Amino acid sequence: MSDTIHGTALLSDPLRNKGTAFTREERSAQGLDGLLPPAVETLDEQAERAHDAFFGYDKPLNRHIYLRQLQDTNEVLFYRLITQHVEEMLPVIYTPTVGEACRRFSEIYRRPRGLFLSYDDRHRFREILRNRPNKEVDVLVVTDGQRILGLGDQGVGGMGIPIGKLSLYTAIGGIHPARTLPVLLDAGTDNEDLLNNPHYLGRRQRRVTGAEYDELVEMFVSAVEAELPGTLLQWEDFATVHARPILTRYQDRLLTFNDDIQGTAAVALGALTTATEIAGTRLADQRFVVLGAGSAAVGVADMIRTALADEGLSEREALDRFWFVDVDGLLLQSRSGLTEEQRAYARADDEIRDWDGNGNPELAEVVRQVGPTALIGLSTAHGAFTEEVVRQMAAGCERPVIFPLSNPTSHSEADPADLARWTDGRVLVATGSPFPPLRIDGRDVPVAQANNVYVFPAIGLAVTAAHATRVTDRMMVAAARAVGRCAARSAPDDGSPAPLLPPLGRMRDAAREIALAAALAAVEDGVAPKATEEELRAAIRKAQWVPDYGSATTG
């Protein structure tokens, strides 16, 4: 521990503060006598007390605020609590509760964390980056707050997302908390409620667009290149109109990825891999109907296409497995305004010449005509997977795969309990937000939550341990397949159905296996130094930080 920090300054440093775990000798040497209650606790005793305090709050948002305050007070204790109770804490740290925390960010704001980069300061971004709390950074998560979960524009409140994501990089992936940096790019907001809220803490102007917005992002990227070369930069919750272009523009220039596009896709592919094995089919046998055509939905399809190519399908054969439906109906080649990525999945107009109805067919008609084996939702349209749609699909499919992936819970395309009822328990389901277990054939069957936490912390661990310089598509596919393998190994011994995704409670262990798969792919792709599997496994284990007071200030 540093000899330069004593007394109240030491207690105010969340990475060095041990609270009641300071020994009597440490209290005397560090000027802490009288500043703490007399009792000396172990870290586990502190965590037990914090766990009890957590349940003293009845509302999820209040529990979220409590955990954030604990993080700002004693990070080692915070992460010990989280790692011991991942399943309980995850919905509070992140989705769905983080959505409400973002919406009320200005109201519940307590203490600064991360960096706020305003459009007005764009020419000073490099200077501002030098104000970061710690010089060495392994992972940086950035958002502009424009498309927070399914809640839309939350302006500066979007900072809750990078903070939450990086908490999981540490809790699951083991990235040292001192080596993470949340960033909010404040381009303004078009949310009228925020603009009219006298307590709003962000830039109180309309969002910049066009060339001004591109300049903002370029200034940020240039500052990161200059100040934090080699740092993994994750883009998070950018609007569809910006997400894919930003990724395309910078993915070959930086060590970077977009979690909404690539992370969501990898988790969906991992769950899909398990589902097809349970159903006794192949990935190449599936017919996919995708509801929603934003960047996340297209990203899922793109990653499945990559996996299909590995199974020997041509690009045309892989594309023919997909039917995309959005608010205007089936994506058709005659439709104007499609992005290049969307147009790749648009169907030929003559395919629907004999279908019922006029114009672009909607979801129910597409399901009736296509007979999909997999139905994926990333539309934020609550209840869009209706009983009619699901029963129609189940009538022609023995084990229908249905993934209502939209977040938060209030935007999910279906409730898994309804899906189980409408399919007589035959459904293979994964959701974007947490749901209670299903009761099928007298057994409680957990609902797999296709949370990106299965992938992005492991990617952070992989690039840190392997010293990767880029994040490639093959690294993400390798991670996805590793997720499926971890799920298969966690099948119950009592003959219950295997989960589509690994148990959240064992995610730190799974993260090492997923990181190893991604690291091996990085070496094969030539974006990481040559290393054997044994060397990478050892590097990953060494890089995964464990929350205890002896490791708090190392990194």
CATH number of the domain located at residue range(s) 262-450 in this protein? 3.40.50.720
Question: What mean pLDDT is predicted for residues 425-438?
Answer: 91
For range 461-476, the mean pLDDT: 97
Cross-sheet strand order for the sheet of 139-143: 115-118, 180-186, 139-143, 232-235, 256-258
- Locus of tokens 């939450």: 164
If we measure between CA atoms, which residue out of 167, 190, 254 comes closest to residue 217? Answer: 254
CA distance 417 to 95: 20
> How deeply is 1 buried, as exposed, middle or buried, from its count of CB atoms within 10 A (0-12, 13-18, 19+)?
middle
DSSP per-residue letters across 148-177: -TTS---GGGGGHHHHHHHHHIIIII---G
Domains 7-91 and 262-450 share a fold: no
Cis status, amide bond into 60, omega within 30 of 0 = no
Residues pairing with 440 in the sheet = 443
Query: What's the CATH code, domain 105-254?
Result: 3.40.50.10380
| SS3 (DSSP) at 406 | coil
**At residue 1, does pLDDT exceed 70?**
no
| Nearest CA among 258, 260, 273, 337 for reference residue 304 | 273
- Supply the pLDDT for residue 495: 56
What value does the mean pLDDT take over residues 409-423?
Answer: 94
Q: Would you say 190 and 196 are in contact if contact means Cβ atoms under 8 Å apart?
A: no
Q: With a cut of 50, say whether residue 542 has pLDDT above it.
A: yes
For 7-91, CATH number out of 2.40.40.20, 3.90.320.10, 1.20.1370.30, 3.40.50.1110 equals 1.20.1370.30
Kindly list the domain boundaries of the chain, sorted by start residue: 7-91, 105-254, 262-450, 454-551
3-state helix, strand, coil in the chain (%, to 5): 50, 10, 40
Q: What is the mean pLDDT of residues 286-315?
A: 94
**Count of all residues that appear for the chain in the document:** 555
> First CA to last CA across the chain, in angstroms?
13
pLDDT at 498 over 70: no
| Residue-wise pLDDT tens digits, 165-194 | 999 999 999 999 999 999 999 999 999 999
The average pLDDT across 39-51 equals 98
Q: Assign 96 a pLDDT band (cuts: 50, 70, 90).
A: confident
Q: How far apart are CA 516 and CA 485, in angstroms?
A: 13
**Predicted confidence band at 512 (pLDDT cuts at 50, 70, 90)?**
very high
- Give pLDDT tens digits for 103-155: 999 999 999 999 999 999 999 999 999 999 999 999 999 999 999 987 899 99
Q: How far is CA 521 from CA 139, 172, 470, in A?
A: 20, 21, 11
Burial of 211-227, coded b for 16+ CB within 10 Å and e otherwise, reads eebeebbebbbebbbeb
Q: What is the pTM of this model?
A: 0.91
The reported pLDDT for the residue numbered 2 is 44
Q: List, by residue number, the catalytic residues.
A: 94, 165
Q: How confident is the model at residue 472 (pLDDT cuts 50, 70, 90)?
A: very high
pLDDT one-digit tens code per residue, 197-218: 999 999 999 999 999 999 999 9
pLDDT value of residue 503? 87
- Map 10-31 to HEC letters: HHCCCCCCCHHHCCHHHHHHCC
- Whether residue 496 has pLDDT greater than 80: no
For residues 227-248, give the mean pLDDT. Answer: 95
